[in-house]
Protein backbone atom coordinates (compact mmCIF):
# COMPACT_ATOMS: atom_id res chain seq x y z
CA UNK A 1 0.00 0.00 0.00
CA UNK A 2 1.30 3.45 -0.87
CA UNK A 3 1.45 6.30 1.62
CA UNK A 4 -0.86 9.27 1.45
CA UNK A 5 1.96 11.60 0.33
CA UNK A 6 2.95 9.28 -2.51
CA UNK A 7 -0.72 8.89 -3.46
CA UNK A 8 -1.06 12.66 -3.64
CA UNK A 9 2.04 12.99 -5.84
CA UNK A 10 0.79 10.23 -8.15
CA UNK A 11 -2.67 11.77 -8.48
CA UNK A 12 -1.06 15.14 -9.25
CA UNK A 13 1.28 13.70 -11.89
CA UNK A 14 -1.32 11.47 -13.56
CA UNK A 15 -3.39 14.18 -15.30
CA UNK A 16 -0.22 16.03 -16.32
CA UNK A 17 1.19 12.99 -18.10
CA UNK A 18 -2.19 12.10 -19.57
CA UNK A 19 -2.37 15.59 -21.04
CA UNK A 20 1.23 15.25 -22.29
CA UNK A 21 0.35 12.04 -24.14
CA UNK A 22 -2.61 13.69 -25.85
CA UNK A 23 -0.64 16.86 -26.59
CA UNK A 24 2.16 14.92 -28.31
CA UNK A 25 -0.31 12.96 -30.44
CA UNK A 26 -2.08 16.15 -31.43
CA UNK A 27 1.27 17.73 -32.30
CA UNK A 28 2.08 14.80 -34.60
CA UNK A 29 -1.28 15.26 -36.34
CA UNK A 30 -0.71 18.99 -36.76
CA UNK A 31 2.78 18.47 -38.17
CA UNK A 32 1.38 15.93 -40.62
CA UNK A 33 -1.38 18.29 -41.70
CA UNK A 34 1.07 21.18 -42.05
CA UNK A 35 3.52 19.08 -44.05
CA UNK A 36 0.78 17.65 -46.25
CA UNK A 37 -0.62 21.12 -46.88
CA UNK A 38 2.82 22.31 -47.98
CA UNK A 39 3.30 19.37 -50.33
CA UNK A 40 -0.19 19.66 -51.81
CA UNK A 41 0.40 23.39 -52.33
CA UNK A 42 3.65 22.54 -54.14
CA UNK A 43 1.82 20.03 -56.36
CA UNK A 44 -0.92 22.51 -57.27
CA UNK A 45 1.57 25.34 -57.80
CA UNK A 46 3.50 23.15 -60.19
CA UNK A 47 0.43 21.90 -62.05
CA UNK A 48 -1.14 25.35 -62.37
CA UNK A 49 2.04 27.17 -63.31
CA UNK A 50 2.10 28.41 -66.90
CA UNK A 51 5.88 27.90 -66.90
CA UNK A 52 5.78 24.24 -65.89
CA UNK A 53 6.91 23.01 -69.32
CA UNK A 54 9.87 25.42 -69.43
CA UNK A 55 11.67 24.25 -66.29
CA UNK A 56 15.40 23.80 -66.74
CA UNK A 57 17.25 20.85 -65.26
CA UNK A 58 18.67 22.90 -62.35
CA UNK A 59 15.20 24.30 -61.56
CA UNK A 60 13.71 20.82 -61.61
CA UNK A 61 16.50 19.54 -59.38
CA UNK A 62 16.02 22.45 -56.96
CA UNK A 63 12.28 21.84 -56.75
CA UNK A 64 12.82 18.13 -56.14
CA UNK A 65 15.40 18.89 -53.46
CA UNK A 66 13.03 21.38 -51.82
CA UNK A 67 10.24 18.81 -51.60
CA UNK A 68 12.61 16.21 -50.16
CA UNK A 69 13.95 18.64 -47.56
CA UNK A 70 10.39 19.68 -46.63
CA UNK A 71 9.34 16.05 -46.24
CA UNK A 72 12.48 15.20 -44.28
CA UNK A 73 12.01 18.14 -41.94
CA UNK A 74 8.38 17.31 -41.24
CA UNK A 75 9.17 13.62 -40.78
CA UNK A 76 12.00 14.33 -38.36
CA UNK A 77 9.76 16.59 -36.28
CA UNK A 78 7.06 13.92 -36.24
CA UNK A 79 9.59 11.28 -35.16
CA UNK A 80 10.76 13.56 -32.37
CA UNK A 81 7.19 14.02 -31.14
CA UNK A 82 6.54 10.28 -31.47
CA UNK A 83 9.54 9.51 -29.27
CA UNK A 84 8.36 11.98 -26.63
CA UNK A 85 4.83 10.58 -26.89
CA UNK A 86 6.10 7.06 -26.22
CA UNK A 87 8.15 8.19 -23.23
CA UNK A 88 5.17 10.02 -21.74
CA UNK A 89 2.96 6.98 -22.42
CA UNK A 90 5.38 4.68 -20.57
CA UNK A 91 5.41 6.98 -17.54
CA UNK A 92 1.62 7.27 -17.68
CA UNK A 93 1.28 3.47 -17.59
CA UNK A 94 3.65 3.31 -14.62
CA UNK A 95 1.51 5.89 -12.84
CA UNK A 96 -1.64 3.90 -13.65
CA UNK A 97 -0.04 0.77 -12.26
CA UNK A 98 1.07 2.58 -9.10
CA UNK A 99 -2.45 3.96 -8.65
CA UNK A 100 -3.86 0.44 -9.00
CA UNK A 101 -5.87 0.96 -12.17
CA UNK A 102 -4.90 -2.52 -13.41
CA UNK A 103 -5.50 -4.32 -10.10
CA UNK A 104 -8.52 -6.52 -9.93
CA UNK A 105 -11.12 -5.58 -7.33
CA UNK A 106 -9.55 -2.30 -6.22
CA UNK A 107 -12.15 -0.08 -7.90
CA UNK A 108 -14.62 -2.54 -9.43
CA UNK A 109 -15.65 -5.85 -7.99
CA UNK A 110 -13.74 -8.78 -9.59
CA UNK A 111 -12.28 -6.71 -12.41
CA UNK A 112 -9.66 -4.02 -12.94
CA UNK A 113 -10.58 -0.44 -13.77
CA UNK A 114 -8.42 -0.58 -16.91
CA UNK A 115 -8.01 -3.70 -19.08
CA UNK A 116 -4.54 -5.23 -18.85
CA UNK A 117 -4.00 -5.00 -22.62
CA UNK A 118 -3.82 -1.21 -22.32
CA UNK A 119 -0.38 -1.59 -20.72
CA UNK A 120 1.08 -2.82 -24.00
CA UNK A 121 -1.35 -1.44 -26.61
CA UNK A 122 0.90 1.56 -27.29
CA UNK A 123 3.60 -0.77 -28.65
CA UNK A 124 1.36 -1.78 -31.57
CA UNK A 125 0.33 1.82 -32.31
CA UNK A 126 1.06 2.50 -35.99
CA UNK A 127 -0.26 6.03 -36.33
CA UNK A 128 3.28 7.42 -36.59
CA UNK A 129 3.86 5.16 -39.57
CA UNK A 130 0.65 6.46 -41.13
CA UNK A 131 1.75 10.07 -40.66
CA UNK A 132 5.19 9.45 -42.13
CA UNK A 133 3.96 7.36 -45.05
CA UNK A 134 1.36 9.98 -46.01
CA UNK A 135 4.05 12.66 -46.20
CA UNK A 136 6.40 10.40 -48.13
CA UNK A 137 3.55 9.46 -50.49
CA UNK A 138 2.75 13.10 -51.20
CA UNK A 139 6.43 13.80 -51.79
CA UNK A 140 6.51 10.88 -54.21
CA UNK A 141 3.49 12.28 -56.05
CA UNK A 142 5.18 15.67 -56.31
CA UNK A 143 8.37 14.10 -57.66
CA UNK A 144 6.36 12.05 -60.13
CA UNK A 145 4.53 15.15 -61.37
CA UNK A 146 7.87 16.94 -61.63
CA UNK A 147 9.38 14.11 -63.67
CA UNK A 148 6.38 13.75 -65.98
CA UNK A 149 6.24 17.45 -66.87
CATH no., domain 4-46+57-148 = 1.10.132
In tens, the pLDDT along 101-135 reads 888 876 667 787 877 888 888 788 899 999 999 99
Distance CA 84, CA 28 (A): 11
Distance CA 83, CA 102 (A): 25
pTM across the whole model? 0.83
For the chain, the structural domain boundaries read 4-46+57-148
Amino acid sequence: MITEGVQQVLTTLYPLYKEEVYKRREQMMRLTAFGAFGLIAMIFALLLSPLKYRLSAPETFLMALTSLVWCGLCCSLILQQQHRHRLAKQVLIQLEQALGFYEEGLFLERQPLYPGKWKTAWIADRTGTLYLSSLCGLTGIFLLVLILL
